[in-house]
Structure 1
C-alpha cells in the first residue's frame, strides 16, 4: 500500500496528487509507475481518506514550512489553504531538502505558485 497526500483542497471538485514515477519492480509492484503510465481517459482505483481541515492560523503572521522528499505534498496543500483565507497572513517561507536534484518533483510548480502569491 502506498499513501499519496493530495495537493488539492478539500472543497475542490478534483483530487490532485503528486506521484514520482519509479521504474516498475521486477515483481510487478510499484503503483506509482502504474499511475504515471496511465493515458488520458484511463482510470485507476484509489481510496480517498480525507485529512483534517485547517481551522485557522489564529493570528499567525508568518508561516514557516519544512519539508523533505515527498513531505512537500501535504505542506503545499497547507500553503494553498492558508493563502486562500483572509487571516492576515503576511508571508509563507518554505525550506525543503532532497538527496538528489531528481527528487525535486514540484520545482517548476512551486516557483510559479509562490511567484503568484
Structure 2
C-alpha cells in the first residue's frame, strides 16, 4: 500500500486520508468494511440496472460498449466487470479502459490487464496514463 502523506504533493495537500489512517493503525487493531452497495449492477449481456438514488426504482439499460475510467485503486470495480464479461462466452459487450496513475510503478494489476487485452483484443481495449513518466522511457 502506498501512503499519501500530508504536505508532500502540492495537488493533494491533505494527502490520502484513508492511507494515512491505515498507516497509523497499531498491530492487532481492526476496522469494519462493508459493501459493495452501489446503484449500478451489471446483469450480464450488456445490461445494467441503474438507480439514480438508492431508494429509486432501477432502470435497465442495454449497451454494446462500455467506457471506463479508473485511477489507482479505483481499478477494483472495473476489473470485476472486465473479469465477469470476459468469463461469459456469450457476452460480447465491448469494453475500453483508461487507467490513470501517478507513475508506472503505481499501476496495479498491470500484467493481468495487459493479458486480458491480449486475450480479448476485439472486446477489451486498454490505455494507461501516468502523471510522472519513468525516466528513460
Q: TM-score normalized by structure 2?
A: 0.46
Count of aligned pairs between the two proteins: 88
Go from structure 1 to structure 2 and tell me whether the alpha carbon gap of 1:51 and 1:77 turns closer, same or farther (over 3 Å shift).
farther
Instruction: Kindly state the Cα deviation for residue 54 of structure 1 after the two structures are TM-superposed.
Output: 1.8
Q: What RMSD in Å do the two structures reach over aligned CA positions? A: 3.4
The question of 1:69 aligning with 2:72 is answered yes
**In structure 2, C-alpha distance between the alignment counterparts of 1:51 and 1:80, rounded to whole Å:** 19
Partner of 2:42: 54
Higher strand share: 2
Unaligned runs of 5+ in 2: 4-19, 24-30, 48-61, 121-137
1:100-115 pair list within 5 angstroms: 100-115=103-118
Residues 30 and 66 of structure 1: CA distance in aligned 2, closer, same or farther (over 3 Å) = same
Q: Distance in 2 between matches of 1:68 and 1:47?
A: 21
Distance 1:100 1:75 in 2: 19
2 CA distance for matches of 1:113 and 1:31?
31
* 1:84 equivalent in structure 2: 87
Radius of gyration: which is bigger?
2
Residues 60, 88 of structure 1: 8 Å contact kept: no
Runs of 4+ in 1 over 4 A off after TM superposition: 29-32, 45-48, 50-53
Note closer, same or farther for the CA distance 1:80–1:51 as it changes in structure 2 (3 Å cut). Answer: farther
Distance 1:62 1:94 in 2: 11
TM-score in terms of structure 1 length: 0.52
Secondary structure of the residue aligned to 1:88 is coil
The answer for unaligned runs of 5 or more in structure 1 is 1-19, 23-28, 33-44
